[in-house]
Amino acid sequence: MKKILLLHMLVFVSATLPISSVASDEVETLKCTIIADAITGNTLYETGECARRVSPCSSFKLPYEIRRRYAKSWRQSPATT
């Protein structure tokens, strides 16, 4: 129950934060193009800054990712529901 409450609080706080407090003054565009073979997974074409890691562009995706990663530990046994 505490974990579900924590998730709801995280969603509420991330939705109510002012955009100016989390956005940088400079807008930087990251350009990366990758074309890969769907069967082998081999990269056929790659250009731009593809090795650089970035956060998701949409904060709406964060709760889904948190839920996906921790869903197994949040499941309750049938006896407790």
In a domain, 34, yes or no: yes
Tell me whether residue 58 is one of the annotated catalytic residues.
Answer: yes
In a domain, 13, yes or no: no
Give dist(CA 23, CA 38) in Å, integer: 35
In a domain, 1, yes or no: no
For residue 79, what are the CA distances in angstroms to 64, 75, 76? 26, 12, 8
Give dist(CA 37, CA 42) in Å, integer: 5
Give the structural domain span for 49: 30-74
Provide, rounded to the nearest whole percent, the portion of the chain with pLDDT above 70. Answer: 48
Q: How many domains does the chain have?
A: 1
Give dist(CA 23, CA 69) in Å, integer: 26
Q: What is the pLDDT along the chain (81 residues), one digit of tens a residue?
A: 666 666 666 665 555 555 544 555 566 777 888 888 888 889 999 998 888 877 666 667 777 777 777 777 666 555 555
Q: Helix 2-16 and helix 61-74: axis angle, to 10°?
A: 170
In a domain, 65, yes or no: yes
Active-site pick, 58, 59, 73, 77: 58
